[in-house]
Amino acid sequence: MVLLVKKRALLASLSRRAVISRCLGSSSIQEQLAVPLEEEIRDAKPISEIPGPKSYPVVGSLLTIMKGHQFDKMAAHKFYLHMRDTHGHIYRMTVPIAGNFTVVSNPDDCEKLLRVTMHNPQRLPLDSIKAVREETVDGFFKENTGLLLENGEKWWRVRSKVQTPMMKPKMVGAYLQQMDEVSREFTDRIAQLQEEHGEMPSDFQFELYKWALESVSLVALNRRMGCLNPDVAQDSETVRLIGIVNGIFQALNDLEMGSMLWRLVRTPTYNTLKRRHGEFLEIAMRNIQETEAAILAEDPENERELSLMETLLLTEGLTRKDVLTLILDMLTAGIDTTSHTLGFALYLLARNPQAQAKLHEELDTVLGDHQGPLLPKHMAQLSYLKAVIRETLRIFPIAIAMVRILDQDAVLGGYVLPKGEKVIYPNMIAAWDEHYFPRAKEFIPDRWLRGRPLGPIHPYASLPFGAGTRMCIGRRIAEQEMYTFLARVMQRFTIDYKYEDVDIRTRLVCMPSQPLRFSFTERR
């Protein structure tokens, strides 16, 4: 039965909440493994034999790493590639204050890591933003700092309640036509910029940020933000919000990938993050409150389908703060991630005319002279378009690495790792490996099509959204946004790019290293 909104029910839900906990599961992972753990440990090597950079007291492996100029926090992917080439597919390093890390790049080890930790998938939180939230004066984040930052029961209490509505195709599909409207408006913005400049301006990435905020706000806030208004002022609240989120990601990257000194003393960068987060919180909460006010102002007898926010607010076991924290994180994570992926996708299509032509052909076949909004039946037929996004995320993964903390002893790469060991799986190593992806340096969306024309693909060799119960909670929302954007932009335009090659630049998430100065030509 479809849930319908009633004002009285929502008012009641905003005033009372029941917290319902759920255990993480009790079945033993050893029962699911082909070889008993005891036998694996007996045949494995001790952790002390894992190769890696030389470690020293206090400073750990830092001197060894910095001596060879191997680490650049704005190019973290190059560090992982260098370390793999130097030490192999498993190595161990010591980071001052943070401790020991084992890094694995074999997808078989990744699969085993996720299976071993499936019942209690703990990962390293972004400690700097967690600390900022824990220091919030009004105690708003006292019970829940967010799904990205919590582990164990605190994490599962919220995750178990929100994953069904957020991952439900019908719920996400309800926003398809609105997302389509945003993307069609953005194609008008592209046409305007092309006419004014003869190509996209050097700040075109910021235009993509506007599209991303406008799209994610449809779901997170159930309303438009006005980002695509051509007359939007640079000092407007929505434009400021984008700049603040960019600043948060930059500060997070500097703190999490750089010196750990902030853990001992609050550094200027930490204070910048705290200030930026406070600014973000103020603007985002004002918009959330406006959405709530609009909901409560409705006629209590007026029935319509629930939005995602309303569904979550009516979910037993979730507090209002739980819901608002999730919405805050959707707004934070929903700008850079999708917009960077689409910047990379447009670049790869511009550099690969054959792939672009094939995508045009599919769009012409599926959409034809259809004049109305995109429909679910259209999305279901766009297999090559979806393969373009999948291949883009293989070549340019947005997340640098996946991390898990072992909650029991395990054997990875032939070595015994103890409970508590932190294990990193860099997302790009296997994805760029010829062993797992023939012609790995080439952009070949066809490899993801049914029948796998380039051979079978290891299911853990490319994990752009993670896997298991800690898979990205916004995956379906992000995919629908990107599919809709790419369908409308490539239906209308041919794209070209004449400048230097684009590489990855890391700012906690990966982003294009060069200005996206594309040229768009109307196909009609």
**Per-residue pLDDT tens for 206-229?**
999 999 999 999 999 988 999 998
Q: Is 431 exposed, middle or buried (0-12, 13-18, 19+ CB in 10 A)?
A: buried
- 241 has pLDDT over 50: yes
Q: Which of 143, 135, 74 is nearest to 266 (CA)?
A: 135
Q: Per-residue pLDDT tens for 114-135? A: 999 999 999 988 999 999 999 9
Is pLDDT larger for residue 38 or for residue 422?
A: 422
DSSP 8-class letter at 57: T
- 143 has pLDDT over 70: yes
Q: Classify residue 86: in a domain, yes or no.
A: yes
Tokens of 173: 């599909």
Q: What's the rounded Cα separation, in Å, for the pair 324 and 206? A: 26
What is the C-alpha end-to-end distance of the chain, expressed in Å?
44
Q: What is the mean pLDDT of residues 455-468?
A: 95
pLDDT at 507: 87
Q: Which of 90, 87, 97, 89 is nearest to 62 (CA)?
A: 97
* pLDDT band at 68; cut points 50, 70, 90: low
pLDDT at 69: 57
Is pLDDT larger for residue 58 or for residue 374?
A: 374
Average pLDDT, the chain: 89
pLDDT at 57: 86
Q: Per-residue pLDDT tens for 339-355? A: 999 999 999 999 999 99
Structural domains counted in the chain = 1
Instruction: Give the best-scoring range by mean pLDDT among 137-141, 285-289, 318-322.
Output: 318-322
Q: Classify residue 360: in a domain, yes or no.
A: no
pLDDT at 303: 72
Residue 90 neighbours by CB distance under 10 Å? 21
* pLDDT band at 39; cut points 50, 70, 90: confident
- 472 has pLDDT over 90: yes
pLDDT at 58: 80
Q: Classify residue 389: in a domain, yes or no.
A: no
Helix residue ranges per DSSP H, 237-319: 237-257, 268-296, 308-313
* pLDDT band at 6; cut points 50, 70, 90: very low
List all residues 6 or more positions away from 452 whose beta carbon is below 8 Å from its beta carbon. none
* pLDDT band at 30; cut points 50, 70, 90: very low
Phi and psi angles of residue 292, each rounded to the nearest 5 degrees, phi first: -60, -45
Half-sphere CA count of 200, side-chain side, radius 13 A: 28
pLDDT at 19: 28
- 320 has pLDDT over 50: yes
pLDDT at 67: 73
- 9 has pLDDT over 80: no
Q: Classify residue 92: in a domain, yes or no.
A: yes
pLDDT at 38: 82
* pLDDT band at 304; cut points 50, 70, 90: confident
Instruction: Enumerate the β-bridge partners of residue 493.
Output: 522
- 146 has pLDDT over 60: yes
- CB contact at 8 A, 425 and 402: yes
What are the angstrom distances between the C-alpha of 294 and each of 288, 298, 411?
10, 7, 54
* pLDDT band at 402; cut points 50, 70, 90: very high
Instruction: Enumerate the β-bridge partners of residue 416.
Output: 411
pLDDT at 70: 66
pLDDT at 3: 40
Q: What is the mean pLDDT of residues 380-391?
A: 98
- 65 has pLDDT over 80: no
**382 CA to centre of own chain:** 22
User: For the ranges 10-14, 150-154, 483-487, which has the lowest average pLDDT?
Assistant: 10-14
pLDDT at 214: 96
pLDDT at 462: 97
Q: pLDDT over 90 for what percent of the chain? A: 71
Q: What is the mean pLDDT of residues 308-322?
A: 90
DSSP 8-class letter at 502: P
Q: Classify residue 413: in a domain, yes or no.
A: yes
- 517 has pLDDT over 50: yes
- 485 has pLDDT over 50: yes
- CB contact at 8 A, 289 and 297: no
User: For the ranges 35-44, 374-383, 439-448, which has the lowest average pLDDT?
Assistant: 35-44
Helix residue ranges per DSSP H, 96-168: 107-116, 127-134, 152-167
Q: Classify residue 148: in a domain, yes or no.
A: no
Q: Classify residue 3: in a domain, yes or no.
A: no
Instruction: Give the best-scoring range by mean pLDDT among 53-67, 97-111, 304-318.
Output: 97-111
Q: What's the rounded Cα separation, in Å, for the pair 265 and 272? A: 14
List all residues 6 or more positions away from 197 whose beta carbon is below 8 Å from its beta carbon. none
Phi and psi angles of residue 394, each rounded to the nearest 5 degrees, phi first: -75, -45
Range of the domain at 418: 32-139+400-444
Q: Classify residue 46: in a domain, yes or no.
A: yes
